[in-house]
Amino acid sequence: MKRIGIIGTGSYLPEKVMTNFDIEKFLDTSDEWIFTRTGIKERRIADEKQATSDLCKVAAERAMDAAGVKPDDIDLLILATITPDTHCPAGSNWLEAKLQCHHAVSFDITAACSGFIFALHVADRMIRCGTNKKALVVAGEIMTRVVNWKERESCILWGDGAGAVVITETGAGAEILSTHIHTDGAGGDTLLMPGGGSKTTPISYASVDQGLHFLKMIEANKSFKVAVNRFSEACEEAVAANGYAIDDVDVIIPHQANLRILQGMAKKLKTPMEKIYMTIEKYGNISSATVPIALDEAVRNGTIAKDRLVLLTAFGGGLTWGSSLIRW
Ligand code: UT7
């Protein structure tokens, strides 16, 4: 069995900060409601000149720097995103050109907030089976451009940013022990962008008037409960597959959807909140990018150090969910 490892991490957050108090100025909401219901205080907003690939480029360059590899060393580039620069070509193709990864094949993965785990799973398998040698796995989003700023129950959740890792077969460094991914298409109508695809005329005056191009959350409190269960199942699955228990895990890096979801997950797993790495207060929900951003931050500030057992987990639209266990 090959030993596949993460040899570098990187992330990028746009400089502009939008606080809950800023949102109070144009929406019927309050810092108090947002913080107590979600754990979010502020989020980052991409500059209007930036596209998703611009955010991803910086994150990917930081990951390659940390790994000590050059763009020409990369032969696989997978981008997880639901906010690509364009739907055709794929966001990853733009990113490949910007990074000048001349020897890489690039493609996108769409798995909403679980996208990074899905991309990591595919890259890990492609290296294991010998198709590729060095992969850049990137997740990036500009969520604040696809939310409806008039829908207060949803727009307050999201932010922008990107994260990346370089993975390869290696005898040293963090070892990917497992990845598990799951979907339930029957739950697809709870977190979705109804317009912009072949189901409707992609863009029409009517679709724009109805706001079909915006991200929608239908009965978000129902997906809240599903999220708690799926996060917990994914964590249990990862540790069980490797002969561990949740108590053996040193750091859990979950997708940051809502602080209360993570508290529910911790309760279900009977694990202390101190084990759960949190970025939600300062960045909000950056869909696929929250996991690699939190991972990079935890690596750089020393929360994740050599020999630590690290559990990544995510849940999102699709429905999609998954996990990955890593021995750092
Ligand atoms: O990343 C993918 C996974 N993410 C999810 O699955 C999202 C999961 N869901 C959630 O995080 C939460 O359901 C939300 C944060 C979206 C909403 O929190 P909630 O505790 O479920 O609130 P709610 O929708 O049940 O609304 C409670 C009340 C309502 O008022 P009434 O009907 O009780 O009078 C809403 O109108 O809060 C009101 N409300 C707001 N008030 C102030 C909803 N949004 C806001 C707001 N500011 N922004």
pLDDT in tens, the chain (328 residues): 899 999 999 999 999 999 999 999 999 999 999 999 999 999 999 999 999 999 999 999 999 999 999 999 999 999 999 999 999 999 999 999 999 999 999 999 999 999 999 999 999 999 999 999 999 999 999 999 999 999 999 999 999 999 999 999 999 889 999 999 999 999 999 899 999 888 887 788 888 899 999 999 998 888 899 999 999 999 999 999 999 999 999 999 999 999 999 999 999 999 999 999 999 999 999 999 999 999 999 999 999 999 999 999 999 999 999 999 999 9
CA atoms within 13 Å, Cβ hemisphere of 24:
11
Asked whether residue 273 falls in the same domain as residue 220, the answer is yes
Asked whether residue 113 falls in the same domain as residue 193, the answer is no
Q: Hey, which residues are catalytic here?
A: 113, 255, 285
Asked whether residue 76 falls in the same domain as residue 160, the answer is yes
Q: By residue range, what is the domain housing residue 63?
A: 4-172
Q: How many domains does the chain have?
A: 2
Ligand 1 cavity residues, CB under 6 Å: 29, 33-34, 37-38, 113, 152-153, 156, 191, 220-221, 223-224, 227, 257-258, 285, 315-316
Ligand 1: centre distance to CA 308 (Å): 36
Substitution candidate for ligand 1 out of 30, 153, 183, 221 with most atoms within 8 A of CB: 153
Asked whether residue 168 falls in the same domain as residue 287, the answer is no
What are 313's two structure tokens?
Answer: 């987990």
Asked whether residue 185 falls in the same domain as residue 145, the answer is no
Q: 300 with 60: CB under 8 angstroms?
A: no
Asked whether residue 142 falls in the same domain as residue 252, the answer is no
CA 71 to each of CA 6, 9, 300: distance values in angstroms, whole numbers, following the listed order: 16, 15, 22
Residue type, 114: S
Cut 0.85: pTM above it: yes
